[in-house]
Every structure is written in C-alpha cells, then in structure tokens.
Amino acid sequence: MSYQIKPLLKLHSLACASVLISSLSSCGIPADGDSVGELRGTVMEVPILKPDLVLTDTEGNFYDLRAETDGYLSLVFFGYTNCPDVCPVHMATLAGVFDELAPEVRDAMKVIFVSTDPERDTPDRLRQWLGAYHPSFLGLRGEVEAINAALAEMKLPGIAVVPGEHGSEPIIGHPSAVLAFGRDGLARVRYPFGVRRADWINDLPLLLGENS
C-alpha cells in the first residue's frame, strides 16, 4: 500500500518551516545582529591620550610608543603571555582579522602588545608567542612602574600580581580591553573581551576613516 496522503499534507507546515530556516541563512543579516556601518566598540566619553611611554621591543631596541605609532591606527593591549584566557583570545581574534583586511587598512595600523609580566615575558618568549598569532604584532616590555604610571594616566586598572594557588604560576591582573588609538593619538573607542572578528572587520575601516 502506498503512503497515506494525510501525513504528507500535515507535513506541509514542516516543509514551510524548513524552507524558512534555510532562507534565513542567506538573508544577509549579520550573525550577531549588530548593525553594519556603526562602531561596535565601546565609545568612551572622554578620549584617552596615548601615553608617553618608551619601552623595549623584542629585538632589544627602544620603542617610543608615541613617536613610532604617529600617524597609525594603533591597537594597544596590555597583557601577558601566560594569560590563560583574555590575552590569547584577543590576539587570536585580531590575527584572524588581519589578513582579511584590505592592504591599505592593514598598512595603516599597528597591533601592539605591552607585557604586564616582563619578568616571565622575555624578548624571546614574547616574540614567539606573538609570532604564533601574526608576525606583524609587536611586543614591548618595560618596567612595571612605568607601565603602571601610564595605566594610571589613562585611568585604567594597574598591574596586579595574584599569587598562584598550591604553587601554581601567579595570575597577573591587567586591563582587559584593547585600546584603539587613532592617527591623532587619541583613543576614543575601546574593545573589551568579547569583541569578535566581525566587530573588528566592521570597525577598523571606520576607525581609519575618523581623524585621518
């Protein structure tokens, strides 16, 4: 005996539902539902001036943060290589975006990782760790006091060393947001943990378009 017709007719609604679900995948709505064309980072009420900080890069050369990044969009993050969560996620997200950017966007920006754990983040360690994400990411080290002074100047939380439990490695407290310093040296937008690739792809051209 052939299949009953009634179940097939009842399935009409199921078929419509499946078509609807299928069509949603191609409707062009961004996966996270955020609007396209507006900044997705957190816009700060009071912009932050890029700190006057001279640090050391992984080659041992002095690096004047203001002078070396003048005219560039600088994405500055304070973290450490033994960080279990926030730091690797931020770097991985930025790395995933970097090579997708248009050359003119990529060439106009710098990603700078300032170590908050200079004792363990040796130049070699820093270079290897950042290099695993993207070869262009720049690692800087300096005295904790100087970095803390710069963080205080920017009204950001300072470096806090939390001893590890049961002899484990210490945890280093540090700001968890990436600061986007525009070409004019002012950071108007920060990107807290949770920023996604799609957010960077949306925002980076917009950030470069401002104050250019």
Partner 1 sequence: MNWWCFAQPGTAWTWQWQPLMGVWLVMVLLIWVYHRVLSRIDDSYESSRLRKSRRAAFALAIFLLWASLDWPLGPLGASYLASVHMVQFLAVGIAAPALLLLALPGAAYEPLRRYPRLTKALSDLTHPVSAFFIFNIMMTATHWPGVVDLLMPTQLGSFVLDAAWMLGGLIFWWPLIVPVPERPGFHSLGKIAYLALNAFLIRPPFAMMIFSASPIYAIYELAPPPAQDALNDQQLAGAVMKIGLAWIMFAGVLVIFRNWMLLESDRPESA
- Closest by Cα among 126, 136, 143 to 58: 126
Please report how close the Cβ of residue 3 comes to partner 1 at its closest, in angstroms.
6
Secondary structure of residue 67 in the 3-state scheme: helix
For residue 47, which amino acid is it?
P
**Nearer residue to partner 1 within complex by CB, 30 or 71:** 30
Please report how close the Cβ of residue 127 comes to partner 1 at its closest, in angstroms.
18
Cα atoms found within 13 Å of the Cα of residue 59, Cβ hemisphere only: 4
Give 53's contacts (C-beta < 8 A, 6+ positions apart): 64, 65, 66, 114, 142, 146, 147, 150
Structural tokens at position 193: 């943990």
**Nearer residue to partner 1 within complex by CB, 39 or 92:** 92
**Nearer residue to partner 1 within complex by CB, 45 or 85:** 85
Please report how close the Cβ of residue 59 comes to partner 1 at its closest, in angstroms.
26
Structural tokens at position 127: 């270079």
Please report how close the Cβ of residue 40 comes to partner 1 at its closest, in angstroms.
13
Q: Which residues bind partner 1 (CB under 8 A)?
A: 1-4, 7-8, 10-11, 14-15, 17-18, 21-22, 24-25, 31-33, 84-86, 88-89, 92-93, 96, 100, 193-194, 196-198, 201
**Nearer residue to partner 1 within complex by CB, 155 or 166:** 166
